[in-house]
Amino acid sequence: MFFFLRKKYDLVYAFFYSIDLAKLASWIAIAKKAELIIHIADHSTSFVKNSQFITILNQSSKLCCIGNNMRDYYQKVFDKPFDVFHNLADDSFLPLKKKINKTFNKSNPLKILFIGSLFQSLHSGTINNICRAIDELNLEGFSIIINLYGQIVPKYFLKEEFSSSNIKHHGTISSNHRFDVMNQNHCFIVPSSFNQIIKDEYRFSLPTKLPELLLSGRPVIIHGPKEMEAHRFCQDNQCGILVDDNSISSLKSELVDLYNNYLKHEKDAINSCHKLMSKLSMSDQSARFQSFILN
């Protein structure tokens, strides 16, 4: 406080994942006699039963969270109003403008992209389904590959899948290069685990990359339980390709349809992109966020 926060502050805004960060923001706000606004970025079961967290909620002048599932749950538990502010997309490079070859064959396969971090604890089963579906379809004559960018935790996760020539892991990249990578792929995939414990814990979170994927103008496959926030958002906004059963055959069916009717799916994605721009782009949402914070 002495070295870094000597000035007078009127407002403390906390975007947090942990109770410790919420407590830090509360302490600063009290010390500076400032207004506190909290923005819950990720749900934790520890929040609900933590007396200090409830005190911080009562201290805060406004409350917001990352998604509709979280808002509904928190309003019911705490009997307080929450606004929703999703992760927003940097729309400087969206929708994607680079032309890409849409005639699929062995020399130009349908390229599916996962970009982000893959955790065995969060994605096991679902990402394996995707890899297996792609391998089986290649044996059936459909030229499809999946490109994965980002860290793999633990490192041995998907080791067997990476032995396939259809599954390509390219390691981590700088966030500045993500749009270049997106431009090179036909379709994006967002997986989430069907494991009951994981589903119950993470159904409140919206994947960070989802807004940018939906504003890309290219098809996005959402593979995971219908209880997840990503599924709810896409269903409410009639966007994305939803595969909500734990089924390789369902995945294969959707991938074959995408392969054979890509131009239709691309047209749907472009239409969705234009409808969603005002909801998900930084430039369009900045005024709403500013009004929430300052008024």
pLDDT, one tens digit per residue, over 66-97 is 999 999 999 999 999 999 998 889 888 999 99
Task: Give the pLDDT confidence of 274-284 residue by residue, as tens digits.
Answer: 999 988 988 88
Query: Average pLDDT, stretch 153-173?
Result: 93
Joined together, the tokens standing for residue 139 give 């044996």
Assign residue 286 a region (left: φ > 0; alpha: ψ between -120 and 50; beta: otherwise).
alpha
Tell whether the model's pLDDT for residue 214 goes beyond 90. yes
Q: Of all residues in the chain, what percent carry a pLDDT higher than 70?
A: 100
Retrieve residue 242's tokens. 């939803």
DSSP E strands: which ranges in the chain? 11-16, 35-40, 62-65, 83-84, 110-115, 118-119, 144-149, 152-153, 167-169, 187-191, 220-223, 241-243
Q: Which of 214, 228, 274 is nearest to 87 (CA)?
A: 214
pLDDT averaged over every residue in the chain: 93
CA torsion sign for 272, 90, 172, 40 is negative
Residue 2 has pLDDT above 80, yes or no: no
191-197 mean pLDDT: 91
* Nearest alpha-carbon partner for 39 in 83, 96, 99: 83
Contact 66, 41 (CB under 8 A): yes
> What is residue 241's DSSP assignment?
E
Residue 269: CB partners within 8 Å, gap ≥ 6?
216, 217, 218, 219, 220, 239
* pLDDT of the residue at 121: 84
Confidence class of residue 286 from pLDDT cuts 50, 70 and 90? confident
- Residue 135 contacts residue 144 (beta carbons within 8 Å): no
- Cα first-last separation, the chain: 27
Higher pLDDT, 106 or 6: 106
Closest CA relative to residue 243, chosen from 268, 263, 213, 223? 223
Per 3-state DSSP, the chain is made up of helix, strand and coil in percentages (nearest 5) of: 45, 20, 35
Model confidence, pTM: 0.89
Q: Give the integer Cα–Cα distance in Å for 220 and 212.
A: 10
Query: Is 90 exceeded by the pLDDT of residue 49?
Result: no
